[in-house]
Amino acid sequence: MDQRTQEKEWARETADRIAAKVAVTAHRNRGKVPYTTAEGRFDDWSGERIGWWTNGFWPAQLWLLYHAYGNEEFRTVAEEVQDKLDAVLLDPMAMDHDAGFRFLISDVADYRITGNRQSRNRGILAASNMAGRFNLKAGLIRAWNDPGDGKTAGLAIIDCMMNLPLLYWASDELHDSRFRQIAMAHADSVQKVFVRENGSVHHIVEFDPETGRIIGPQGGQGMQVGSAWTRGQSWALYGFTLSYLHTKEERYLETAKQVADYVVSQISETGIVPVDFDQPADILWEDSTAAAIFACGLLELEKLTDGEQKETYYHTAVLLLHTLAEKRCSWDPEIDNLVEKCSAAYHDREHDFSIIYGDYYFTEGILKLAERDILLW
Ligand code: GLY
């Protein structure tokens, strides 16, 4: 058996283990919208916290597994969360650049897999809100809403690259190129103002919302301004790959490879990913979510690449997934999360805990390697 076939077999066995564990945790956690775990049990971000940007990842993971395994409870639990997310669509202060994280991989996934028209409507509403965040002068999609001090109208963030597929989907679905035009204008501006010469990217860039003048980068969730926050690098790597897949514009593929080449040069042979590639050697905080997102992006990118670069992307993705599965996962069905040692931000007090999108991207990556995936982006 050649190596790719062996890895596919391994991924199929690992996907079976994920599906078996999630069958237990989905049943045990009916009614919850999880973000992390406390003493092995998912917490619940229903109610007042339903607007949190990660609340689409649990239904998204369930749709991936429903598509691959057909377990009806996965579908039911995903639908229950989506009903709760309606409150977000009705609250303009809860909607932001992360509309794809909330609605593309939950409701639009549901529409794609089951044809649910109510879910299609939710996706269109979310895309319309996201398109309305575009700043014409800067050519960038605004990130957060106004907390009351008027200081956030000129902020854009790299994470938004991963949400652009919601706009590409709406464009195709509605036969309306305005959504695509906005997504591409944003991606073009990000290439100019976020991507650095060595292929790494900024997290946040500030602009003047009246004139569009670029003011400069801010530090965000990484170690400092100019450092390489790993999850930010992963949003850029996968986000530009997806913009290429949806537009076939070579410039996005080139940028995706530029970021990927930088990322691959930073990943150690352990396959463990730090919170920031520039963090001091004695800081051991990890971010398994970045590892999982890198793996997903690299597995898409390797399909678009030839020769040595293709092999490098593939082998790096495989290293990351093996490390996660063998060293950074809980397979105990009494523990709700799969992936361990995630970090939300470098300067947070808490590190190395579980986060739901770590589980989501790990599941996506394993299903890709197993060739049992559906691209929700
Ligand atoms: N979208 C925020 C984050 O990646 O933590």
Domain ranges of the chain: 3-134+162-174+228-369
- How far apart, in whole angstroms, are the C-alpha atoms of residue 168 and residue 127? 9
Instruction: Exactly one of 107, 159, 276, 287 is catalytic; name it.
Output: 159
Q: Which two tokens stand for residue 72?
A: 């009806």
Counting Cα atoms < 13 Å in the Cβ hemisphere of 49 gives 10
Which atom from ligand 1 is nearest to the alpha carbon of 345?
5
Which atom from ligand 1 is nearest to the alpha carbon of 159?
1
Q: Is 98 a catalytic residue?
A: yes
Q: What is the pLDDT of residue 246?
A: 98
> Which protein residue's CA is at the shortest distance from atom 2 of ligand 1?
159
Q: Is 285 left (phi over 0), alpha (psi -120 to 50) or beta?
A: beta
Q: Using an 8 Å Cβ cutoff, are 358 and 289 in contact?
A: yes
Amino acid 213 reads R
Which atom from ligand 1 is nearest to the alpha carbon of 53?
1
The neighbour count for residue 368, using CB atoms within 10 Å, is 23
DSSP single-letter state for residue 165: H
Q: Using an 8 Å Cβ cutoff, are 101 and 163 in contact?
A: yes
Pick the CATH number of 3-134+162-174+228-369 from 1.10.3470.10, 1.10.760.10, 1.50.10.10, 3.10.450.750: 1.50.10.10
> Which protein residue's CA is at the shortest distance from atom 5 of ligand 1?
344
Confidence at 1, pLDDT banded by 50, 70, 90: confident
192 alpha carbon – ligand 1 mean position (Å): 21
Which atom from ligand 1 is nearest to the alpha carbon of 344?
5
- How far apart, in whole angstroms, are the C-alpha atoms of residue 8 and residue 11? 5
Give the percent of the chain with pLDDT over 70: 100
Pocket of ligand 1 (CB under 6 A): 53, 159, 221, 231, 344
By C-alpha distance, which of 257, 275, 255 is closest to 316? 257
Q: What is the pLDDT of residue 150?
A: 86
Q: Which helix (H) or strand (E) holds 217?
A: strand 214-218
Q: Using an 8 Å Cβ cutoff, are 166 and 120 in contact?
A: no
Place of tokens 């390697």: 369
- How far apart, in whole angstroms, are the C-alpha atoms of residue 286 and residue 204? 21
159 alpha carbon – ligand 1 mean position (Å): 6
pLDDT digit string (tens) for 141-167?
Answer: 999 999 899 889 999 999 999 999 999
Mean pLDDT of 88-117: 97
Q: Is 306 a catalytic residue?
A: no
DSSP single-letter state for residue 155: E
By C-alpha distance, which of 100, 104, 102 is closest to 88? 102
pTM above 0.85, yes or no: yes
228 alpha carbon – ligand 1 mean position (Å): 14
155 alpha carbon – ligand 1 mean position (Å): 14
pLDDT digit string (tens) for 257-269?
Answer: 999 999 999 999 9
CA distances from 164 to 181, 291, 295, 373 (A): 11, 21, 19, 20
3 alpha carbon – ligand 1 mean position (Å): 34
Average pLDDT over the chain, rounded to an integer: 98
pLDDT digit string (tens) for 204-224?
Answer: 999 999 999 999 999 899 999
Q: Using an 8 Å Cβ cutoff, are 68 and 18 in contact?
A: no
> Which protein residue's CA is at the shortest distance from atom 1 of ligand 1?
159
